[in-house]
Amino acid sequence: MELKGKVLETIKKAGKPMKAGEIAEQAGIDKKDVDKSIKSLVAEGVLESPKRCFYNLKG
């Protein structure tokens, strides 16, 4: 599974907004890669940031 997919799956399983560090830890991915994926997913409109440094699925 690609990085973006792992990030989305991790957030979906948690069912709550998560910090990049939490996502990286639970998905077993380097935090730098998680940050890049999050930035891209926010730009695509897939993720949103309900509060500073937390990310959740949009909708």
Q: Print the domain residue range for 50.
A: 3-57
Report, as an integer, the average pLDDT of 17-39: 97
Both tokens of 53, joined, read 């440094």
The confidence band for 2, taking pLDDT boundaries of 50, 70 and 90, is: very high
Q: How many domains does the chain have?
A: 1
Band (pLDDT 50/70/90 cuts) for residue 59 is confident
**Angle of CA points 44, 52, 6, to nearest 5°:** 45
CATH number at residue 49: 1.10.10.10
Q: What is the DSSP string of the chain?
A: --HHHHHHHHHHHHTS-B-HHHHHHHHT--HHHHHHHHHHHHHHTSEE-SSTT-BEE--
Q: Which two tokens stand for residue 32?
A: 């730098």
The reported pTM is 0.91
pLDDT at residue number 22: 98
Average pLDDT over residues 28-45: 97
